[in-house]
């Protein structure tokens, strides 16, 4: 094929989600140039409504690299969460338990900050690319080919490729079957996610166990509520009218108990999200490195997917810098094992929160779930375990 453009960069990044954009920012700070390829348009990427909780570790990192201004001004700091079991609601105070907090800040806002910062720095980003394909990833001179938004073919030569292209991108699929191991779990329930133009009915998130199914009251701002309901894997949006959604949320979140009530308002967006856990290891094959959802998927109950993507690239940036600037491979060689330690910690945590809070219809499961929730209410040791992982243990390059 005749390539219109054949260019070279130190690091090629596939995917302009939070992992890819933050990695390009961190690499630039290390003096490493990169090119980002993204299949969707910039508007599409900016409009995707997904995660909304940044843990302490992510917030510290973002602030330390100049990405904390809007987060600090517009984000909402939460010192704990409410855990509810039927009629009983108790607060876990993270600051008291582990001295750390979390922040409500929508992934869309973080994505906006990342794009603004990279554009201001002149980052090379190709949007709406097609047919991105990876070659020679097991050599020191890998390259990519792709078609740009105008239909022109390109070849991008590089020292390393980072797959930040989520669960459906080409990167993780480029690793030969014989060189990877995959662990996967599909849960027997899904989430119905709702974005509503109504002030939150709570100052901090409410995680509610209810025999009918789990519910979560979260928020995006002082005027926008984010609400989630456990639904069956066969449910469709058509079977959930606005009235049915609000009635189920009110019942499960305890409307009327001790004077608390759920505010209702216009629903701006609804979607059904399948719940699954997935880990692919190792997170490196030759000169291809995987980060974020390209390497792992978590059920959102623990609010860890976005935070894990941030933690991956925080480890990867110094490792790539040493590799491509000084030809030192030690950190790059350590990346996969170091990242996977946190991946498995968060995978377990997300599985644990999910299985503790979702109704299965089995009376034995229900008794175990009630027992775990009352243990968290009554034991500081148990509550500290939840708080420690929820708020994000500190991250250091010495983890590599
Ligand atoms: C539908 C959905 C809803 C979610 N909701 C929540 C939630 O409510 N709470 C929560 O805590 N977490 C949620 N998550 C998880 C969280 O949003 C992710 O963990 C986070 O986005 C991971 O960031 P990432 O950059 O690794 O991947 P992504 O954000 O998925 O970014 C990957 C990027 O790669 C691009 N790409 C894909 N294929 C190609 C290709 N062939 N060529 C070039 N580019 C490509 C994609 O367009 C995308 O921009 C949700 C995830 C999804 C998918």
Q: Residue 398 pLDDT more than 80?
A: no
342 vs 159: CA distance, rounded Å: 26
Decide: 299 in ligand 1 pocket, CB within 6 A. Answer: no
Over residues 360-369, mean pLDDT: 98
For residue range 270-288, list pLDDT tens digits in order.
999 999 999 999 999 999 9
* Secondary structure (3-state) at 240: coil
Output the CA 113–ligand 1 centroid distance in Å.
Answer: 16
- The DSSP element (H or E) to which 45 belongs, if any, is helix 42-47
DSSP string of 175-188, one letter each residue: S-GGG-EEEEEEEE
Pairing type for strands 102-104 and 53-54 reads antiparallel
Q: What is the pLDDT of residue 1?
A: 60
Kindly give the number of the ligand 1 atom that is closest to the alpha carbon of 165.
Answer: 34
Cβ atoms of 46 and 112 closer than 8 Å? yes
Mean of all residue pLDDT scores within the chain: 96
Q: What is the pLDDT of residue 4?
A: 67
Q: How far is CA 189 from CA 183, 199, 230, 376, in A?
A: 19, 28, 7, 24
DSSP string of 51-116, one letter each residue: --EE-HHHHHHHHHTT--HHHHHHSEEESEEEEEETTEEEEEEHHHHHS--EEE--HHHHHHHHHH
Decide: 20 in ligand 1 pocket, CB within 6 A. Answer: yes
Pocket test for ligand 1, best of 24, 148, 161, 169 (most atoms within 8 A of CB): 169
Identify the residue with better confidence: 202 or 258.
Answer: 202
Q: What is the pLDDT of residue 5?
A: 67
Q: Residue 65 pLDDT more than 90?
A: yes
Q: What is the pLDDT of residue 396?
A: 74
Q: What is the pLDDT of residue 399?
A: 75
For residue range 365-377, list pLDDT tens digits in order.
999 999 999 999 9
Kindly give the number of the ligand 1 atom that is closest to the alpha carbon of 21.
Answer: 25
Domains parsed from the chain with CATH numbers: 5-52+106-180+282-358 (3.50.50.60), 185-275 (3.30.9.10)
Per-residue burial over 45-84, b if 16 or more Cβ lie within 10 Å, else e, is beeeebbbbbbbbbbbbbeebebbeebeeebeebbbbbbb
Q: What is the pLDDT of residue 105?
A: 97
Q: What is the share, in percent, of the chain residues with pLDDT greater than 70?
A: 98
Pairing type for strands 225-231 and 296-297 reads unpaired
68 vs 157: CA distance, rounded Å: 33
177 vs 22: CA distance, rounded Å: 29
Q: What is the pLDDT of residue 6?
A: 72
Name which residue sits closest to atom 42 of ligand 1, judged by CA: 39
Q: What is the pLDDT of residue 395?
A: 84
Determine how many CB atoms are found less than 10 A away from the CB of residue 271. 13
Decide: 279 in ligand 1 pocket, CB within 6 A. Answer: no
Q: What is the share, in percent, of the chain residues with pLDDT greater than 90?
A: 95
Catalytic positions are 78, 207, 300, 304, 390
Decide: 162 in ligand 1 pocket, CB within 6 A. Answer: no
344 vs 17: CA distance, rounded Å: 22
Residue 344 sits at the vertex; the CA angle it makes with 338 and 350, to the nearest 5 degrees, is 140
Decide: 15 in ligand 1 pocket, CB within 6 A. Answer: yes
Structure tokens at 390: 């929820």
395 vs 220: CA distance, rounded Å: 26
Output the CA 323–ligand 1 centroid distance in Å.
Answer: 27
Output the CA 167–ligand 1 centroid distance in Å.
Answer: 8
283 vs 291: CA distance, rounded Å: 7
Kindly give the number of the ligand 1 atom that is closest to the alpha carbon of 45.
Answer: 49
Confidence label for 116 from pLDDT (cuts 50, 70 and 90): very high
Q: Residues for the chain: how many in total?
A: 400
Confidence label for 324 from pLDDT (cuts 50, 70 and 90): very high
Decide: 392 in ligand 1 pocket, CB within 6 A. Answer: no
Over residues 186-207, mean pLDDT: 98
Determine how many CB atoms are found less than 10 A away from the CB of residue 34. 26
Alpha carbon distance, N-terminus to C-terminus of the chain: 40
Pairing type for strands 124-126 and 225-231 reads unpaired
Q: What is the pLDDT of residue 2?
A: 59
* Secondary structure (3-state) at 303: coil
Output the CA 368–ligand 1 centroid distance in Å.
Answer: 33
Decide: 166 in ligand 1 pocket, CB within 6 A. Answer: yes
Q: Where are the beta strands (DSSP E) in the chain?
A: 5-14, 34-37, 53-54, 76-78, 80-85, 88-93, 102-104, 124-126, 130-135, 143-147, 153-163, 181-196, 206-209, 215-219, 225-231, 267-281, 284-285, 288-290, 296-297
Kindly give the number of the ligand 1 atom that is closest to the alpha carbon of 37.
Answer: 43
φ/ψ of residue 18, rounded to 5: -60, -40
């Amino acid at each position: 094929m005749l390539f219109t453009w054949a260019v070279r960069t130190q690091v090629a990044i596939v995917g302009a989600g939070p992992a890819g954009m933050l990695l390009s920012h961190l690499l630039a700070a290390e003096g490493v140039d990169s090119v980002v390829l993204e299949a969707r348009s910039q508007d599409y990427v900016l409009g995707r409504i997904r995660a909304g909780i940044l843990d302490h570790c992510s917030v510290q990192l973002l602030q330390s690299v100049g990405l904390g201004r809007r987060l600090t001004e517009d984000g909402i700091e939460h010192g704990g969460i409410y855990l509810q079991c039927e009629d009983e609601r108790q607060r876990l105070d993270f600051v008291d338990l582990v001295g750390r907090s979390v922040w409500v800040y929508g992934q869309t806002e973080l994505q906006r900050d990342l794009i603004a910062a990279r554009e201001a720095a002149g980052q090379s980003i190709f949007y709406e690319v097609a047919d991105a394909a990876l070659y020679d990833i097991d050599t020191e001179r890998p390259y990519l080919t792709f078609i740009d938004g105008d239909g022109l073919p390109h070849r991008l030569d590089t020292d390393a490729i980072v797959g930040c292209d989520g669960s459906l991108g080409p990167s993780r699929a480029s690793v030969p079957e014989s060189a990877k191991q995959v662990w996967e779990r599909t849960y027997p329930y899904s989430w119905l996610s709702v974005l509503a133009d109504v002030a939150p009915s709570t100052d901090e998130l409410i995680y509610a166990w209810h025999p009918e199914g789990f519910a979560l009251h979260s928020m995006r701002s002082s005027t926008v509520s984010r609400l989630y309901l456990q639904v069956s894997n066969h449910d469709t949006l058509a079977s959930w009218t606005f009235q049915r959604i609000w009635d189920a949320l009110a019942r499960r979140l305890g409307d009327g108990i001790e004077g608390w009530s759920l505010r209702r308002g216009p629903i701006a967006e609804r979607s059904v999200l399948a719940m699954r856990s997935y880990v692919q290891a190792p997170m490196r094959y030759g000169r291809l490195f995987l980060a974020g959802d390209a390497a792992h998927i978590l059920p959102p109950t623990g609010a860890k997917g976005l935070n894990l993507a941030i933690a991956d690239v925080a480890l990867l940036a110094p490792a790539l810098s040493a590799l491509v600037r000084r030809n030192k491979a030690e950190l790059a060689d350590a990346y996969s094992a170091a990242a996977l330690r946190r991946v498995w910690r968060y995978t377990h945590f997300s599985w644990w929160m999910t299985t503790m809070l979702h109704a299965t219809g089995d009376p034995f499961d229900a008794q175990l779930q009630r027992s775990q929730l009352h243990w968290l209410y009554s034991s500081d040791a148990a509550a500290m375990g939840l708080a420690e992982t929820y708020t994000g243990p500190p991250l250091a390059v010495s983890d590599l």
